[in-house]
Chains A and B, each alone.
Chain A
Amino acid sequence: MNKYLLYPGCSMESSAKAYMESLNAIVEPLDLHFEEIEDWNCCGATEYLGINLIPAYSLIARNLALASKQKNPVNGTGGTRTVVAPCSACYLNLAKADHYMQERPALGLKVNEALAAGDLQYKAGTLDVRHLIDILVYDVGLEKIRDAVVRPLTGLKVVPYMGCMLPRPDYQHRWSDHEHPTELDDLLRALGADVIDYPLTTQCCGGHMTQIGPETAFELIRRLVADADERGAQMMVTVCPMCQMNVDAYQNEMNNHFGTDYHMPILFFTQLMGLAFGREPKELGIGAEMVNSRNALANIGVEVPVTQEPAAPRKKDEGLPMPRRWTKHEDRKEAVK
Chain B
Amino acid sequence: MKKGIFAAFALVAVLAMAIPASAHFMMVYTPEIAMDKGGDMDFRMVFTHPAEAGHTMNMGGVNEFYVLSQRGDAKAKKTDLMPYVKEIKWTNPASSNTAYSAMLPKKVVRSMGDYTFVFVPGYYFEEEEGIYMQQITKLIANVGGIPGNWADPVGLPCEIVPLIKPYGVWTGNVFKAQVLSNGKPVAGAEVEVEFMNHMPDMTKNAMPAKGSVEYPHDSMVTQTIFTDSEGYITFGIPKAGWWGFAALGVGPDTEYKGKELSQDAVIWVKAVDMK
The finding on whether chains A and B are genuine partners in a shared complex, rather than unrelated, reads: no
